[in-house]
């Protein structure tokens, strides 16, 4: 994964029940974050969640790139037990929470948070140490 190390500002941790990365606020961050999430879920034997988690992370990292400057964090917390949920967090330095909006058919953007809301168990935002965290939970398939 040498290309991943080159595109990541900081690999905080990928051991245990949590994995965290920090990506530069550059367009390549979306692809790199998606690949990191898929790889970690594969390592945790959560392949069934990899596609949807990568898609939703792509949406949130894209939002962070459009609206904030500075590093973008991605954090995964492994589910505990068979009925647990995967927690995914995307952070950026902008304190303003994202706003879900209704996109018109001709709009080329504005559907990301609708996609997140429709695909996960629940989602939300909270203040971070510097900025905000947008999070979502995915149910582990039984």
| pLDDT tens readout for residues 29-49 | 999 999 999 999 999 999 999
The answer, yes or no, to whether residue 107 has pLDDT greater than 80, is no
Of all residues in the chain, the percent with pLDDT exceeding 70 is: 80
The residue ranking higher by pLDDT, 35 or 5, is: 35
The answer, yes or no, to whether residue 98 has pLDDT greater than 80, is no
The answer, yes or no, to whether residue 13 has pLDDT greater than 60, is no
pLDDT, residue 125, reads 94
Among 22, 21, 76, smallest CA distance to 53 is for 76
Cross-sheet strand order for the sheet of 18-23: 10-13, 18-23, 72-77, 85-92, 131-139, 122-128
Averaged over 92-111, what is the pLDDT? 72
The answer to whether residues 114 and 103 touch, using CB atoms and an 8 Å cutoff, is yes
What residues does 77 pair with on adjacent strands? 18, 87
Predicted structure pTM score: 0.84
The answer, yes or no, to whether residue 11 has pLDDT greater than 60, is no
Domains and CATH numbers, the chain: 2-101+110-139 (3.30.565.10)
Q: Average pLDDT of the chain?
A: 84
pLDDT, residue 5, reads 45
């Amino acid at each position: 994964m040498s290309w991943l190390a080159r595109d990541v500002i900081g690999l905080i941790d990928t051991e245990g029940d949590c994995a965290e990365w920090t990506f530069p606020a550059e367009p390549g961050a979306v692809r790199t974050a998606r690949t990191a999430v898929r790889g970690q879920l594969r390592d945790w034997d959560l392949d069934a969640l990899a596609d949807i988690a990568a898609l939703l992370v792509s949406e949130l990292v894209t939002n962070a790139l459009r609206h904030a400057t500075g590093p973008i964090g991605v954090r995964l917390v492994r589910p505990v037990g068979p009925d647990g949920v995967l927690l995914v967090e995307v952070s950026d330095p902008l304190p303003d929470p994202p706003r879900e909006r209704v996109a018109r058919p001709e709009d080329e953007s504005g559907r990301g948070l609708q996609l997140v809301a429709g695909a996960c168990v629940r989602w939300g935002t909270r203040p971070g140490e510097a900025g905000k965290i947008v999070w979502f939970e995915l149910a582990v398939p039984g």
